[in-house]
Amino acid sequence: MNYKPDESTLISYLYGELDAKETAKLQEYFLQHPEELSKLQQLTEVRNVLKVAEDQEVIAPPIFMDGPSQASRFWQSGYVKTILSIAASFLLLLVAARLIGPEISYSKGELRISFNQAAPIEKPVVQNDPTPSLTSHEIQGMINTSLVKNNELIATEWEISNKRIQASLQNNLASNSAKIDELMKVTSQASQDQVRTFVAGLQQDNLQLMKDYMALSTKDQQVYVENLLVDFSKYLQEQRKQDLMLFQTRMSSIEKNTDQFKLETEQILASIIANPGNTFKKVNNY
Amino acid sequence: MAGTLLDIAMMHSDALITRAREGDKNAQGKLVQLWYKRIYNFSYKFFFDHDLAMEVSQKTFISMHRNLEGLQEVTRFRSWLYTIAINNCREELRKRKANRSVSLHDLRPGESEESFAWEASSGRGENPERQLRQSELSDLLQQCLMELSDEQREVVIMKEYEGLKFREIAEALRISENTVKSRMYYGLDGLKKILERKNITKETIGYEL
């Protein structure tokens, strides 16, 4: 039999998608080639192992989708938007121009854009007054006199204010230094007294604390040492008792052994006395 | 895979798909809620990377929304969705290969996923030690899967974890059913060798049938 199933057939069999006729044929093939069946069973094992990988949990994020109609897409497309925005800007300009009435003129290389009303081209104004009321010298003199007056006024005012300030400063300094001196004296006296009282109080407190501590500690130590002594004596007594008991048991066991030994010796002696002929033999048997 | 209410809802979502195809936004939202976990897990097992899986999942559902009108048969929704997902996965893979950069995650794979899994499953009220062990095992198996070729890995994940039929996998990957089965066979065989090399068996992982 030259039948040999291809991979496609084997996979169909593995997933139970093979028709009855093909399945029978394949099963017959497996009977003759058990190694192929075991190979397929190994693939089933692989499938079982693959099942261990679980799905990852995920939450669908909101996906915003635009409407499907072509019309809305057309209006929302970028080109249309750009063209519409340019058209709207022009329209706005036209309306504004209509309202404020612009005028654009170009003359002698100069472009002028004006709104509402045409402004006349400004020309440099040159006034030629034939009879000036004041001469330049007179004006200069007026300026000079006013400056001198002003300077004098400022100087006097400055001097007066300077004197006032100096006087007030001296007064303030004198009064402040006097106050500071007074304060310093008061504080130094007060601090010396306070330090003395504080130190004295501290010493007293410390002394009291030490006394209390010593009293307490001596009392505690006494109790502790007494307890310790009592415990130690109890321990010693107990130890002694145990030693005595041990000694007694040892003694009694020695006594017992001695008695037994005595008894055995007596028995041996008795047997020797009873059978004087066999003694030598028995001894030799040992 | 089947068994939970979510799975049952996914199996009987034809009416929902029809409504979503007709532009019902509510139905589209429900489809995303139903299928997000599956697509995320497929991408996660493909990349073993949470961020990439999230990226692919979001791209897949945006693409689903844009192209749902073009879906001819509602019954083929599942393979159609996985087609989008695998295409996105392959695109990301190409980008990664083109970049030739090594991220910190690649140096220590599974680090962030561990914590993610831990956080995500903390509310289950299970034994924390068991959860940690489970998470470690999942990562170990994931590392084995990553040793397979991309073609074998996608087929193994689709069949073993996503429960797709061979016909659906063939449709999703646009290859013949025989090729799918062949890749599956070599994929499982490769995994067997990897597991043997790493000494992972049913007994060593304490798996209970």
- Return the domain boundaries, chain B: 1-100, 147-198
Residue B201 with chain A: CB contacts under 8 Å = 45, 49
Calculate how close chain B gets to A69, using CA atoms only, in Å: 9
- B1-100 domain in CATH 1.10.1740.10? yes
What CATH number does the domain located at B147-198 have? 1.10.10.10
Nearest-by-CA chain B residue for A44: B188
SS3 annotation, B80-108: HHHHHHHHHHHHHHHHHHHHCCCCHHHHC
Q: Which residue of A has its CA nearest to B55?
A: A61
Whether residue A109 is contained in a domain is answered as: no
Is residue A208 one of the residues assigned to a domain? no
Instruction: Give the tens place of pLDDT for each residue, B120-171.
Output: 444 455 677 777 888 888 888 999 999 999 999 999 999 999 999 999 999 9
Q: Number of Cβ pairs closer than 8 Å across A and B?
A: 108
Which one of B25, B45, B202 has the shortest CB-CB distance to A48? Answer: B202
Name the residue among A42, A50, A63 with its Cβ closest to that of B32: A63
Query: Per the domain annotation, does A149 fall within a domain?
Result: no
Q: Is A193 domain-assigned?
A: no
- pLDDT at position B125 is 53
Task: Report the range of poorest mean pLDDT among B37-51, B125-139, B189-203.
Answer: B125-139
Which positions in chain B touch A60 (Cβ < 8 Å)? 32-33, 36-37
In a domain, A191, yes or no: no
Minimal Cβ distance to B41: which of A15, A50, A55: A55
- Residue with tokens 């066999």, as numbered in its chain: A278
Summarize pLDDT for A115-136 with one digit per residue, the tens: 766 555 555 555 555 566 778 8
Q: B79 or B113: which carries more pLDDT confidence?
A: B79
Is there a contact between A47 and B186 if contact means CB atoms under 8 Å apart?
no
pLDDT above 90 covers what percent of chain B?
A: 46
User: pLDDT value at position A177?
Assistant: 92
Has residue A17 been placed in a domain? yes
pLDDT interval class at B5 (50, 70, 90): low
DSSP structural state of residue A112: E
Q: Which of B58, B185, B191 sits opposite A10 (nearest CB)?
A: B185
Domain of A29 in residue numbering reads as: 7-48
Contacts of B202 in chain A (CB under 8 A): 45, 48-49
- Of B36, B161, B185, which has the smallest distance from its Cβ to A58's Cβ? B36
Nearest-Cα distance to chain A for B53, in Å, is: 11
- In which band, very low, low, confident or very high, does the pLDDT at B209 lie, cut at 50, 70 and 90? very low
Residue of B53, B191, B205 lying closest to A46 (CB–CB): B191
Residues of B in contact with A55 (CB under 8 A): 37, 41, 161
A35 assigned to some structural domain: yes
- Whether the CB of A71 is below 8 Å from some CB of chain B: the reply is no
Query: Which residues in chain A have their CB less than 8 angstroms from residue B116's CB?
Result: 56
User: Which pLDDT score, from 0 to 100, does residue B123 have?
Assistant: 47
Query: Is the Cβ pair A49, B207 closer than 8 Å?
Result: yes
Q: Is B62 in Cβ contact with A56 (below 8 Å)?
A: no
Per-residue confidence (pLDDT) for residue A277, from 0 to 100: 64
CB A164 within 8 A of CB A171: no
Residue A21 lies inside a defined structural domain of this protein? yes
pLDDT in tens, A149-160: 999 999 999 999
pTM for the model stands at 0.51
Residues of chain A with pLDDT under 50: 68-71, 282-286
Average pLDDT, chain A: 84
User: Residues 33..52 of A with a Cβ closer than 8 Å to B: which?
Assistant: 42-43, 45-52
Count the domains in chain A.
Answer: 1
Convert the pLDDT of each residue in A212-226 to its tens digit.
999 888 888 999 999
C-alpha span between B50 and B111 (Å, rounded): 10
Does residue B185 register a pLDDT over 50?
yes
| Distance of alpha carbon A224 from alpha carbon A230, whole angstroms | 10
